[in-house]
Amino acid sequence: MNSKRVALIILLAFSISCNTVMQAFEPPTATPVPVASPSETASPVESATPSPDAPITDSVYVPPSCEGRPLATVPPATTVAEPTPSLETNPVISTDTQLHVFDELTSTINDVYLYPDFNGLDWPGIVAAYRAKVEGGLDTETFYIEMEHLVSELGDEHSHFESPLQVAASEAELAGTNDYVGVGILVQPLPDRGRVTVLAVFPDSSAEHGGLKAHDSILAVDGLPIVEDGTAYPHRVRGPECTAVVLTVQSPGQEPRQMTFVRYRITASLPIDARLVPTADGSRIGYIFIPTFYDETVPGQVRQALEDFGPLNGVILDNRMNGGGSSTVVEPILSYFVSGALGNFVSRHNSRPLEVAADPVHNSQTAPMVILIGTDTVSFGEIFSGALKDTGRAQLVGQTTLGNVETLHGYSFDDGSRVWIAEERFDPLNSHADWEKDGIHPDVEAFAEWDAFTFESDPGVKAAVALLGHK
């Protein structure tokens, strides 16, 4: 069996499987899905039900590739209340191969899982029950679903299993390869409030041309609610290329309105939001919103932003929606702001240091720094923020994080599947605090739901500017 190892820290559950170890790699976590689908929280204006009389935008941007083509909408009746299934399927594997993968998977978990008591579970009994299912005969897709369920039984909300197709999608995401047909937004579902909220807008997309912005919310797609029975269906925004879609949109503090967009192919890296914060005292404070550490184009984007800013009087990094990602993304960004030892990753068997060499951009190593955090700051998002506070390099503004800082390691199997296993915890250099148990606490509390404010009214940014000693 080919095995390779990847060190990963991640927030949401993906699925990965492997066998031995080789390279430090670290996938996304909670990293939102581009276009119309991540997940988050946001507190909008009360009206979560769109008005049928809401005005429709008069002008619609039509990309050159769609000019001269009819822009019909997909009839609402054809929009199903679930994400469009992929036509791709995983390669068929035999029962013998399934059992081989199963045995390798469970053996790896037994050997390296961070918690030797398996969180108080009867792990041998759970393994026996799932093995009986496999021995009884499962088709390939059902087998992979059962392996997802098996790993989720560990209950750490971090470890996860990926089928071969999911592995391919994960690796494309890490490479920053976004290629899909839609309107060009990254969103977080807010099913409890009947909406999804926009985290980022892709450049030169239909959404950007139409004026959608971060913090806007989508309530309905072609008249159908984007949330039904407590489940969000952000993929309803997607559809065939050069078709029109009518979205019911609500901006913070405003009434819902209808906007029409033309879907077309998006091929771009996930954008960060980098800008100078307007200040009354003329100070130069750079703001950078980082939605994920699971995109290897992000370090280059952050570096470019710092280059463009020039010397700064202060830096604000916004990690409030950052669900984590890969060490290959985190460490280069850390090196712009800090150097030296930051702590240790500790497993059942050994520990390894987190240490970075300085790679300054202008005065990025010395400019006063504030990081915005919240309950959606997870995994490497937490470790990044907490380590900079622990070493005295940054102050934190926002909410206490929920505590999910296990490091995942990936193990790949012969069938192309992979498992990510919580294998390490992070021990900060100075405080030795248990962030997994207690979360990371801000120096100054400041909070509002993501869809309740704009950049100009952001209470977190205002508190950060004040903490930096400016106004």
Q: What is the pLDDT of residue 59?
A: 76
Contact present, 334 and 40 (Cβ < 8 Å): no
Q: What is the pLDDT of residue 72?
A: 65
Q: How far apart are CA 74 and CA 180, in angstroms?
A: 17
Contact present, 11 and 377 (Cβ < 8 Å): no
- pTM for this prediction: 0.83
**Does 269 have pLDDT greater than 90?**
no
Beta-carbon-side half-sphere exposure of residue 324 (alpha carbons within 13 Å)? 30
CATH 2.30.42.10 fits 64-86+177-268, yes or no: yes
- Give the list of residues 6+ apart from residue 96 with CB closer than 8 angstroms, or none: none
Tell me the pLDDT tens digit for each residue of 312-325: 999 999 999 999 99
Confidence of residue 177 (pLDDT cuts 50, 70, 90): confident
Q: What is the pLDDT of residue 175?
A: 86
CA distances from 3 to 68, 97, 408, 413 (A): 51, 15, 16, 6
Q: How far apart are CA 17 and CA 219, in angstroms?
A: 37
Alpha helices in 85-218 (DSSP H): 95-112, 123-135, 140-152, 164-174, 206-210
Amino acid at 468: L
**Per-chain mean pLDDT for the chain:** 86
Tell me the pLDDT tens digit for each residue of 458-467: 999 999 999 9
**Does 392 have pLDDT greater than 80?**
yes
Mean pLDDT along residues 155-159: 92
Confidence of residue 172 (pLDDT cuts 50, 70, 90): confident
**Does 77 have pLDDT greater than 80?**
no
Q: What is the pLDDT of residue 68?
A: 80
**Does 178 have pLDDT greater than 90?**
no
**Does 217 have pLDDT greater than 60?**
yes
Place of tokens 């987190």: 354
Q: What is the pLDDT of residue 41?
A: 33
Extents of the domains making up the chain: 5-31+89-173, 64-86+177-268, 273-405+426-467
Tell me the pLDDT tens digit for each residue of 79-117: 333 333 444 789 999 999 999 999 999 999 999 999 999
Tell me the pLDDT tens digit for each residue of 440-450: 999 999 999 99
Q: What is the pLDDT of residue 88?
A: 76
**Does 266 have pLDDT greater than 50?**
yes
**Does 334 have pLDDT greater than 70?**
yes
More confident residue, 193 or 128: 128
Looking at CATH, the fold of the domain delimited by 273-405+426-467 is given as: 2-enoyl-CoA Hydratase; Chain A, domain 1 (3.90.226)
Mean pLDDT along residues 176-205: 91
Mean pLDDT along residues 389-415: 96
Percentage of residues in the chain having pLDDT higher than 70: 84
**Does 39 have pLDDT greater than 70?**
no
Mean pLDDT along residues 148-167: 96
Q: What is the pLDDT of residue 75?
A: 55
DSSP string, 279-298: -TT---EEEEE---B--TTH
Two structure tokens written together for 319: 């990690």
Mean pLDDT along residues 55-59: 51
Mean pLDDT along residues 392-413: 96
**Does 71 have pLDDT greater than 90?**
no
Three-state secondary structure of 172-210: HHHCCCEEEEECCEEEEEEHHHCEEEEEEECCCCHHHHH
